[in-house]
Amino acid sequence: MIRLVVMIVTLCSLLVPATAHELRPGFLEIRQEAQERDRYVIRFKVPARGDMRLSLRVRLPADCKNLSPPRTERAGTGMIDRLHVSCPGGLENREIAIDGLASTFTDVVVRAVGADGTVQTARLTPDQPSLRIQASPSWRDTAATYFLLGLEHILLGLDHLLFVLALLLLIHDRWMLVKTITAFTIAHSITLAAAALGFAEAPQTPVEAVVALSIAFAAAEVIRRSDGGAKAASQSPWIMAFAFGLLHGLGFGGALKEIGLPQTDVPLALVTFNLGVEAGQLLFVAAVLAFVASLDRLLAMRMPRLRDITAYGIGSLAATWFIQRVVAIL
């Protein structure tokens, strides 16, 4: 039975991208020029995999004109479109949109910077692909946008969730579970902030490879504990969680750095993004514990067996990701 589960999970993992994340959100920056307030410099980062980019285009009011030919260049995990436009009367209280967004599963973060330094931050989705540029944007828009981005990132980040799931399988004592999850949270909060602010940098692909290795290690500890081993990890799992949390934080921070931070609201955006990540993590932990509690009543005699099967599945998936990510580095 365990071998069958391992084979199925490994086969399914080949269909899952090695990054274990959805495409990063797109990022649109609209910056008003100080001298000519009807002129704007636009930078639009479109998510891409390899040479395949999403078919997304910025739609401005019809009277906006290009002042120079649009340019497109490769940048990390996306393609950047650069525009220099003139919009008579400015863009305040006027609508912009992302054509093609409604037919995708990604989002676009918009940052509109006025000549006076005011910043409006918003998140466009397939259901809401347009935005009205505000003359006096509110800090609440920035807070809500980055909180939802953090929440979305953790809930769609399968690798981070699998590591947390492995911790839940490893730890049976509630107090130790709280201590371990707290250690993981503190650790990834530290490196998230450091990476997003540029104090700590690491290439994303190697970081994601080590993240996959951390998941495989945690899953192996679950199985060793069932066999009577895993002394260090089972007795002090918070140490393992803190150490690997530092690595996971680099992954979070790299994603946030790619999205971008509003220069006038960096602390607010950083804190609310992190709060979104923590909220998503707590939701996941609560859902798993509730599910396990319901299963425990129905299948009390089989829970140890189910725990091992789940750990084998997690380990197989993580090992496959690790191999894929190492190959991507070479």
- pLDDT tens digits along 70-128: 999 887 667 899 999 999 999 999 999 999 999 988 889 898 888 887 788 888 999 99
Number of domains in the chain: 2
* Tally of CB atoms within 10 A around 324: 19
- Judged on CB neighbours under 10 Å (0-12, 13-18, 19+), 211 is buried
Pair (161, 309) in one structural domain: yes
49 and 163 belong to one structural domain: no
Asked if the structure places residue 144 within a domain, the reply is: no
- pLDDT above 90: residue 64: yes
Entry pTM = 0.74
pLDDT of amino acid 193 = 86
In a domain, 278, yes or no: yes
pLDDT attached to residue 113:
86
Q: Which of 138, 173, 200 is the last residue of a domain?
A: 138
pLDDT at 301: 53
Q: Show Cβ contacts of residue 120 under 8 Å, excluding neighbours closer than 6 positions.
A: 110, 111, 112, 114, 133, 134, 137, 141
245 and 267 housed in the same domain: yes
pLDDT at 328: 77
**Which of 198-206's residues contact partners 24+ apart within 8 Å by CB, and which partners?**
198/257, 200/250, 200/253, 202/250, 202/254, 204/77, 204/251, 204/254, 205/325, 205/328, 205/329, 206/325, 206/329
Residue 196's closest CA among 139, 278, 270? 270
**How many whole angstroms separate alpha carbon 24 and alpha carbon 250?**
15
User: Is residue 192 located within the same domain as residue 230?
Assistant: yes
Size (the chain), residues: 330
Which residue in 48, 104, 101, 56 sits closest to 78, CA to CA? 48
Which of 138, 168, 189 is the last residue before a domain boundary? 138
Q: Are 312 and 223 in contact (CB under 8 A)?
A: yes
Same domain, yes or no: 213 and 274: yes
Q: How confident is the model at residue 135 (pLDDT cuts 50, 70, 90)?
A: confident
Enclosing domain of residue 248: 2-21+157-329
**Predicted pLDDT at 18:** 47
Q: Do 32 and 10 share a structural domain?
A: no
37, 17: one domain = no
Inside any domain, residue 148: no
What number is the average pLDDT over the span 245-270?
Answer: 79
One domain for residues 185 and 212: yes
Residue 143 lies in a domain: no
